Amino acid sequence: MQSNIKDTDESRQGESMVLEGKEGNSKKLFIESYGCQMNFSDSEIVASILLENGYNTTSELEEADLIMINTCAIRHKAEDTVRKRLTEFNALKRKKPSLKIGVLGCMAERLKTKLLEEEKVVDLVAGPDAYRDLPKLLEDVDDGRQAINVILSKEETYADLNPVRLGGNGVTAFVSITRGCDNMCTFCVVPFTRGRERSREPESIINECINLWNHGYREITLLGQNVDSYLWYGGGLKKDFDKATEEQKENSVDFAELLDRVAVAVPGMRIRFSTSNPQDMHESVLRTMAKHDNICKSIHLPFQSGSTAVLKRMNRQHTREEYIELIDKIKSIVPNIALSHDIIAGFCGETEEEHKETLSLMEYVKYDFGYMFAYSERPGTPAHKKMADDVPEEVKKRRLTEIIDLQQVHSKQRLESYLGKVHEVLIEGNSKRDENFWYGRISQNAVMVFPKTEGTKVGDFVMVRADSCTSATLLGEMI
C-alpha cells in the first residue's frame, strides 16, 4: 500500500517517451520509465546514446524494434508493475520475433542475470552506470551472446552527454548533478543499485542549464539521490575527498555554491532541486535560496519517521530533535517555504508510540504534500538481512491510513493559505480535464489551474490570483 497525495490530473507515471528523430535512423526505440525522477532523467541519456546509434524513439509500442523499460527497485509494487509489462512485451515479441527487449536501471542492477537466464524475459540487462555500453550490448544480442553489464562505476556521471529531452512539455527539465548514494539507510537498495556517490563537474551542469534556457526551457530541477552532499573537487567519489590535494580542496564546489552559480548563469530560469537529506542540508543552501528569486521556495525533505529510535534502526543520520531544529531554521530563513516529505509506516519494530511520534512531527511541520508508504522488505538491504519485518500488515495499513488522512488535512490547509494571493505561475500545458484552462505551478510547487486568455502560451510566466482550491489543486484567474 502506498500513497502520493501530490498526484493530480497533471501527474505522470510509467510513461513512454518520444523525441524528434534523426534523419537516416531506420530503427525505432520505445522507452518506458518507472520510479524516481532520476530514472526519467536517465532515460533521456539512454535515448541520446541510442539516437546516435540508429534509433529514433516512438510512442507506438507496435512500431518498436527495441523496447527498453527503465526500472525502479525501491518498492515491491514497482517490480510487480515491471514484470507485468515484461509479460505484455513478450506477447508482442511472439508476434514479432526480431523485437529486442531490455531492462535498465535499479531492478536490472538488483536482479542481474536472473532476468536473462532464469526467467528469460529480456534480451539485455544494463545497470545505471552501463548506458554507454548499450550499442555493444545490442551487438551481443545480434551475435547470440549474453548481453549484460551491471558494473557500477566510480567515475561515471554522463557529464559530457547532452541528454535528449524526451516528450515532456518543452518547458521543464531535469539536470542530474550527482549519481549514487553513500547513505546506507537500512531499508534502501539505492547504494547497491546505483553505487557510491560522485558529483558532476560544475561547468558541465551550468552549460547544460544555459543550453536548456536557449532552447526554450524555463524551469530545471537539479537532481541527485542527495543533492545537498554535492561536492566537486576534481576527483571521483565523495568519500575520497579527504585524499584530495590542498589545491583541490581549496577549489572545491559544494551545493550552495553550485546553486548560486546556476541561479546567476540563468537568471530567468526557475530552479528546483531534489532530493535533500536532513543531515546534509546546511544553512548556506538556505541563504542561497533566500538570495535568489529564481530559486523556487520548495524543499523536499524526507524524514521517514518521527521517532529517533526508529531513525536509528533505519540508520538515518539525524534525530527527531535535529530535524525539528532544521525545520525551524528553514522557516526562519525562507519564511514562504513549502515543505514535502517521505514517510515509511510500519518499519521493523515500530511501536504504537513511535508511530504517534511520526504523526506529532507532521502536526508540528504541516507539510504541503508527501510520499507515504507502508514498509516492504527489499532483498539485500541491511534491514532484510538483520531485522524482523514484524509489524503485521493490517497494522501497517492502518498506520499508513492515519498518516495519509492527516497529510490530506495539512495539504488542504496549506493550499488554503495560498488563497487570495497573487502567484507567479509558469504555464506548463493544457489542463487534462479542460483544454480551455492552463495548468502550471507556483514557486511552492502547488499546481494552479486557470482559464486561458488570448496571447498566453506554454512557457510564459504569468501572475495568477488563487481564488479557490480542490484537495490538490489551486484554481485561479490571471491578473
- Residues 105 and 79: beta-carbon distance below 8 Å: no
pLDDT of residue 109: 84
Side-chain half-sphere exposure of 261, counting CA atoms within 13 A: 16
The stretches in the chain having pLDDT less than 50 are 1-3, 5-18
| pLDDT at residue number 11 | 33
- Report the alpha-carbon distance of residue 233 to residue 242 in Å, rounded: 10
pLDDT for the residue 167: 65
Give the strand pairing for 422-431 and 461-469.
antiparallel
Q: Cα dihedral angle (258, 260, 262, 264), rounded to 10 degrees? A: -150
Separation CA 192–CA 109 (nearest Å):
8
Instruction: Give the separation between CA 162 and CA 405, rounded to whole angstroms.
Output: 42
Pull the grid cell for residue 204. Answer: 558541465
How far apart CA 335 and CA 429 sit, in angstroms, is 29
**Letter for the amino acid at 402?**
E
Length of the chain: 479
Give all domains of the chain, ordered by start, each with its CATH number: 2-149 (3.40.50.12160), 172-417 (3.80.30.20), 422-478 (2.40.50.140)
* 310 within 8 A of 346, measured Cβ to Cβ: no
Q: What is the pLDDT of residue 446?
A: 98
Q: Are strands 270-274 and 219-223 parallel, antiparallel or unpaired?
A: parallel
| Side chain identity, residue 303 | F
* Residue 474 CA: distances (Å) to CA of 218, 287, 420: 21, 28, 11
DSSP string for residues in 422-444: EEEEEEEEEETTEEEEEEEE-TT
User: Quick one: DSSP state of residue 117?
Assistant: I
Q: Which residue has the cell 542527495?
A: 226
Q: What pLDDT, on a 0 to 100 scale, did the predictor assign at position 7? A: 37
Closest CA to 437 of 445, 447, 446: 447
| pLDDT for res 119 | 74
Distance CA 185, CA 344 (A): 12
Pairing of strands 447-451, 434-441: antiparallel
β-strand pairing of 231-232 with 253-254: antiparallel
Element (H, E) at 387: none
pTM of the model: 0.85
